[in-house]
């Protein structure tokens, strides 16, 4: 169910399967810059856009990734992205022992580029980028509790 003010995936030139992934540089939960193009290489990159750190469904979704981490980390570089600020992301990561990097997209730069931006929050959408830098899969029917499985099946 879509909630007004939250994003929805809007495919368009530049964010569709087969297109080169839009590059971005944004801070992680520790304030360090993460540049998408620098993450590309031996493994695919998985960008998990989610609405709000700490909300019940987002927590369930991120904990699914944590619980599937042993298998995920061998197959992809995984990043969680939301509009939350660095401090909120740091707390969320610590509180739930999340082993992957969380990225603050507070200016909506990445969400807009990938077509998932909303007024208040990004859409719950995952984008898988191949080692060649092209978008390989977009998952927009997220099942929060089974999201790690969804990603592994898509990889």
pLDDT tens profile 34-55:
999 999 989 999 999 999 999 9
Q: What is the mean pLDDT of the chain?
A: 93
79-94 burial code (b ≥16 CB/10 A, e <16):
bbbbbbebebbbebbe
DSSP calls for 15-65 = SSTTSBPPP-EEEBTTS-EEEHHHH-SSS-EEEEE-S-TTSHHHHHHHHHH
Catalytically active residues, by annotation: 58
Give the per-residue pLDDT at 61: 96
Residue 71 is predicted with a pLDDT of: 96
Give mean pLDDT in consecutive 10-residue pieces for the chain, a chain of 155 residues: 65 88 98 96 96 93 96 96 97 97 97 94 96 96 93 95
Q: What is the pTM of this model?
A: 0.94
What domains are defined for the chain? Answer: 48-154 (3.40.30.10)
């Amino acid at each position: 169910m879509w909630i007004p003010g939250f994003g929805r995936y809007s495919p368009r030139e530049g964010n569709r399967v087969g297109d080169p992934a839009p590059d971005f540089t944004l801070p992680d939960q520790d304030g360090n810059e993460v540049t998408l193009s620098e993450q590309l290489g031996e493994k695919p990159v998985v960008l998990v856009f989610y609405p709000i750190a700490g909300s019940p469904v987002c927590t369930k979704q991120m904990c699914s990734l944590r619980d599937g981490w042993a298998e995920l980390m061998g197959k992809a570089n995984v990043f969680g992205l939301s509009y939350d600020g660095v401090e909120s992301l740091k707390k969320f990561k610590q509180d739930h022992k999340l082993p992957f990097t969380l990225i603050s997209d507070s200016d909506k730069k990445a969400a807009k580029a990938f077509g998932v931006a909303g007024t208040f929050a990004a859409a719950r959408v995952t984008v898988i980028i191949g080692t060649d830098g092209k978008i390989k899969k977009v998952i927009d029917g997220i099942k929060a509790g089974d999201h790690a499985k969804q990603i592994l099946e898509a990889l």
